[in-house]
Amino acid sequence: MKKIYIAGPDVFEQDAIKRGEELVTLCKQYGFEGLYPMDNVVDFTQEKRKIAQDIFHANVAMIDAADIIIANLNQFRGKEADSGTVWECGYAYGKGKRVYGYMQSCVAYKEHFDAPFDAEGRVVEDFDYPINLMIACSCEAIIEGDFEDVLQKISLQ
């Protein structure tokens, strides 16, 4: 059974554990084993930076154990995907893992801006991807929809 690492800012939601359980259950329904970051056991009585290091190493180990990464690339705290999720995608790509993303809308990234420049006057990239080219080009596909839409696509392969 192939293992899927479930990447995304869902871990910051107030119902993160419930969401993770639902995503893992969906993986099982499609014949995969879901690996959700909050399933890692971490001692939260330690100093904060030690907790952070433990979370980091546990998540890296999960990615290493996975065959596929499915990443929630929806905008998070701004116009970009969650930076931790982006890092996980890059790490997984570098390790030769299959990376898939999903977004509620796959309109071109530039469409999120009113001009060819952002609020600070920097050029907004225009490569007809819904997200930065480095993320888009490292994904086998970015699916417009949700986690289950990606599962449906990859279960057919």
Band (pLDDT 50/70/90 cuts) for residue 40 is confident
Give 51-107 pLDDT, tens digit per residue. Answer: 999 999 999 999 999 999 999 999 999 889 999 999 999 999 999 999 999 999 999
SS3 26: helix
**pLDDT score of 156 more than 90:** no
Give 133-153 pLDDT, tens digit per residue. Answer: 999 999 999 999 999 999 999
Query: Would you state the pLDDT for residue 77?
Result: 92
**pLDDT score of 5 more than 90:** yes
Q: Report the predicted TM-score, pTM, of the whole model to 2 decimal places.
A: 0.95
Right CATH for 3-102+132-155 from 3.40.640.10, 1.10.10.10, 3.40.50.450, 3.40.50.300: 3.40.50.450
Query: Would you state the pLDDT for residue 79?
Result: 87
% the chain with pLDDT above 70: 100
Domain boundaries, the chain: 3-102+132-155
Query: Would you state the pLDDT for residue 66?
Result: 98
How far is residue 113's CA from residue 15's CA, in Å, rounded to a whole number?
Answer: 31
Give start and end residues of each alpha helix (H) in the chain. Answer: 16-29, 48-65, 83-94, 133-136, 147-155
How far is residue 17's CA from residue 112's CA, in Å, rounded to a whole number?
Answer: 31
| Pair 85, 73: CB distance under 8 Å | yes
